[in-house]
Amino acid sequence: MTSKLDQLKAVTTVVADTGDIDAIARLKPVDATTNPSLLLKAAALPRYARLLQEAVAGCDGDLGLACDRFGVAVGQEILKVIPGRISTEVDARLSFDSRATLQRAERLIGLYEQAGIGRERVLIKIAATWEGIRAAEQLEKAGIQTNLTLLFSFAQAVACADAGVYLISPFVGRIYDWYRKAEGRDFTGAEDPGVRSVTRIYRYYKANGYPTVVMGASFRNLGQIEQLAGCDRLTISPELLQQLTEDQGPLERRLAPNQPGEARQTLDEAAFRWQLNEDAMATEKLAEGIRLFARDQERLEALLAKL
């Protein structure tokens, strides 16, 4: 019997959720994703010391630019060991400013292109706020493809598909965390709220012919991953990828394009904000996620300021 990782790779594109190049090279995912928290962890690794110094050089105290340069430098290193694409995130503090998000995304793509990396190998990560989705819509029209992150609600998924974004990242584990705390009980298998959320979105997209890629993210255990086998993509931490490598049990495909889904719907801004407001979990986790990424962005800036 082949490993569960190999079985998963047969039905789902596997993405590494890390900035650790050694782990990526060992586990051989197709794509990789980073975010401010992962970049902060990467900054502590000795192999990135030179990249930190280079990121600061010539920035004239512009720590936002230094962070972008470091994120792109890490992305370049990761692209050397994967065949696919790297996702690089816009500063979370711009999550409610469409114009600023557009400008930062264009700068990130420009930095990659200056390094000889074509935009076809990069996804720009943006929080799935109304403003972020609108920025992504414009970027997609300009030929810059996006990964809408911090996605917790069906309303966010509907709006992203209508905006023509390339990829969404529903956060399975964080949804699970919220419901586990709120209801005081554990969830397993298909009843896991995070699994149910991604399953619903995947089936909705396929039933209505949306090309937007669904990439489940933020996993807490192998059971969540196994329940989503067949999803377009799954971005998985090195620890869970290693567990999948070591597990030789059978893996059943759970999601497939021909499964039934809900009727197509369209949300204007008022409907989007209302539906998001009505979902306490999504409202809280989106706000929390933006705050956490913003704090890690600030910690990275503080680290760069000392160099």
Report which secondary-structure segment, H or E, holds 268. Answer: none
φ/ψ bin of 58: left (φ > 0), alpha (ψ from -120 to 50), beta (otherwise): left
CA atoms within 13 A on the CB side of 218: 24
**How far, rounded to the nearest angstrom, does the alpha carbon of residue 108 sit from its chain's CA centroid?**
16
For 34, 93, 112, 115, the CA distances from 79, given in Å and listed in that order, are: 12, 26, 11, 12
9, 28, 41, 125: the active-site residue:
125
Is there a catalytic annotation at residue 125?
Answer: yes
- Sign of the torsion angle spanned by Cα atoms 171, 172, 175, 177: negative
**How far, rounded to the nearest angstrom, does the alpha carbon of residue 85 sit from its chain's CA centroid?**
12
Tell me which residues are annotated as active site: 125
